[in-house]
A and B are shown apart, each in its own frame.
Chain A
Amino acid sequence: MLKFFQHIFIWFVLLFLYAPILILMVYSFTDSTMIGTIKGFSMQNYITLFTTPELVEMIIGTFTLAIGVAVLSTILGTTGAIGAFYSKRRTRGVIEMANQIPVINADVVTGFSMCILMIVFFKVRKETFLPLIIGQTALCTPFVYLSVLPRLKQMDHQLYEAALDLGCNASMALRKVVIPQIVPGIISGFMTAITLSLDDYFITTYTKPATFDTISTYVVNATKGAQTDIKTALWALSTVIFVLVALYVVAQNVIAKKEEKKN
């Protein structure tokens, strides 16, 4: 009996989490403008999504920004973690504390303070994209740092010393010995940075140029607007993103299984 209730509960939560997305997915393939009204099958939403210049620019802009920010954060976070790991305990403690700030801070505060700093204090124009890129990098880098650091702790440190003894110089030893051992941490940090950038609303809205939109800021504006063709095109976008995320998770599972077999 208890088992039965457990199943019911789990399915209830799953339904809550997935029903809205799945319903929207179904309706994205119809020509209805509101869910609940059943009309005919149509691919119009997908055609609108991939042919309206405004939408295409927004999607490309969002992903370009995310990849750029993730690359920048990964470089900064990885070098930062390696450097801090080998520094004196006090230096490392200070870096770690500052690193924690964007992690626990509310995104609104991070975005607002970044905006004041860049635009009011340093007088950088938003149109340069600098406030936006730096703001998102400040949010993402700490997470890269946090995913690289545990790998450094697990690493076999004698290998680095051995490489030096065998004639490597320091930078070669870093590249050939240290980096390969922390690659999984770097990759997962990179992926976290991408998702954080894609999901970010607050930092973007406070620091972006007026003419630029990411998915988040665009969707929020679109829900206030009355353009139904754009609204339903965004259903198609949700569907595409959901499928991509699901594929990514499945792929990750498959890779993890293969790794397990190898070991």
Chain B
Amino acid sequence: MKSNNLRKQLAIPYAIFLLLFVVLPLLVVIYYGFTNGDGQPSFDNFINFFKNGKTVGTLIYSFAIAIITTIVCLALAYPVALIIAKGAYSKKAKFLMIFVLPMWINFTLRITALKEVLTLIEGNLAYHQFLNTIICMVYDFLPFMMMPLYNSLTKLDDGLIEAARDLGAGKRQVFFKVILPLSVPGIVSGVTMVFLPSMTNYVVLDMIYNSTYIMGSLIGSYFSAYDWHNGSVISIVLLLIILAITYLSNKYTEDDGTAARVR
């Protein structure tokens, strides 16, 4: 009996760490979000956030950037993942590696490289701000979309595709009725890998324009002004968005579970 306790006790340091440095910071943020400068409870921070045209505008703009980035990443990564997973390439895993490898190079260095090339092509980056933002974001996050898509596509049973063909489905039907629905879990986890970071990663914009209107940078600006209360409000708004996305993506993976059981 004693020996079994030792194994359990190994979790204690990590449990304490999680409590102190993962759960407690969030509680502190919630505390600062709902109090004013005098430490009195107040909703003013939130009211100000949603009344202020600039902050709401930033929220919408961040959403727009994140949605477009995610769609473009998906549009580029899905065909590539599909071709590698189901195409005639012999060394699939190695080939995929080439697409995922940039993930391990520091992203600030990669953006520097892209910035140089874009400057060479366009002359001045200021002319196409939105386009450049999307290009840089896609460049940064594309490798993260590739992996989950490939994983779900490569697990997809070839027999199902053949069966659909034998039963008379055309190429389009095979894709829309078999391949696409069965790769939904991969799409969902790829989207969650890209959407949230692209909504908050203001450094990419910071590097190409020195000025930004994206959610993360609001936190950054309040941070440099030592305004913990308003910074916390943005953090809480972001946390709520994260919770919503996580809830939705869990729902979809559950759907996948039932689909797998039917199979």
Contacts and interface: CB of A to CB of B under 8 A. Distances in A.
The secondary-structure label for the interface of chain A is helix
A173 B15 CA distance: 23
A164 B83 CA distance: 51
Contacts of B106: 198-199, 215-216, 219, 241
Interface residues of A, number: 83
A108 B220 contact: yes
Nearest to B231: A112
A199 B111 CA distance: 12
Contacts of A245: 101, 104-105
Given A17-B102, A108-B220, A245-B101, A116 B28 contact: yes
A87 B207 CA distance: 46
Given A14-B98, A76-B14, A83-B7, A116 B32 contact: yes
Nearest to B115: A223
A20 interface: yes
Contacts of A108: 200, 202, 215-216, 219-220, 235, 238
Contacts of B6: 170-171, 174
A9 B83 contact: yes
Interface in A15-67: 16-21, 23-24, 27, 34-36
A107 B220 CA distance: 12
A238 interface: yes
A234 B2 CA distance: 56
Contacts of B15: 80, 83, 95
B8 interface: yes
Contact of A199 (B3, B79, B107, B210): B107
Interface of A: 3, 6, 9-10, 13-14, 16-21, 23-24, 27, 34-36, 76-77, 79-80, 82-84, 86-87, 91, 95, 98-99, 101-102, 104-110, 112-117, 120-121, 134-135, 137-138, 141, 145, 164, 169-171, 173-174, 195, 198-199, 201-202, 206, 215-216, 219-220, 223-224, 234-235, 237-238, 241-242, 245-246, 248-249, 253
The 6 closest A-B pairs by CB, nearest first: A83-B11, A80-B14, A83-B10, A170-B3, A113-B25, A20-B113
7 contacts: A18-B102, A76-B17, A84-B11, A86-B10, A109-B235, A195-B104, A199-B107
Interface of B: 2-4, 6-15, 17-19, 21-26, 28-29, 32, 76, 79-80, 83-84, 87-88, 94, 97-99, 101-110, 112-117, 120, 139, 142-143, 192, 196-197, 199-200, 202-203, 206-207, 210, 215-216, 219-220, 223, 228, 231-232, 235, 238-239, 242, 246
